[in-house]
Amino acid sequence: MLSARFDEALVFASNLHVRQVRKGSNIPYLSHLLSVTALVLENDGDEDEAIAALLHDAVEDQGGDATRQAIRRRFGEKVVTIVNGCTDADTLPKPPWHERKQRYIEHLASASPSILLVSAADKLHNARSLLRDYEVVGEQLWLRFRTGKEGVLWYYRSLIATYNTYYPTPLTAELTRTFRELETLIASTPYNLSAGITETN
């Protein structure tokens, strides 16, 4: 059962991300955090893992180390350890995109099951969003990402290979199926638009 700690984390996450929206949309960012948390709970996550899911982007997007210390004080060492494990950068400007994504992928090989659970849930929800948005806007989707289409596809292929090696669970299997569906849809799209340059997460 979830306790008052979870309620506190939900309010804390909502306040941190209140002005943030999902890339290329007006969807409140909290929708992503709630979706990742639901996936964690549906895959046998405990309360600490669920709280970490709510806060998995907080350090990276909303305050760096000051936010990390606030999470530690409020929710404890296990939660902050999971959040740290899901954070690929905590300083501005962020390191180059490919460098930090490669480092994140490599770190997953020695990550705890709790980190892998929250990380895979995060990537599954992102993959679902990519699939849904591609169905709506097609190749225009890649204009949202500085790294372009090939960078995004490389990242998810690399993540999936890593999860399947170190975290072979139903969650990973669903992520694999979702991404394969996206690849199939891309292959069936006759028009290719050159990727433009916008911000990427």
Q: Are 175 and 124 in contact (CB under 8 A)?
A: yes
Active-site residue, 60 included: yes
Q: Are 55 and 83 in contact (CB under 8 A)?
A: yes
Q: Are 125 and 176 in contact (CB under 8 A)?
A: no
Active-site residue, 77 included: no
Catalytic residue among 49, 57, 60, 88: 60
Catalytic residue among 46, 47, 61, 181: 61
Tell me which residues are annotated as active site: 60-61
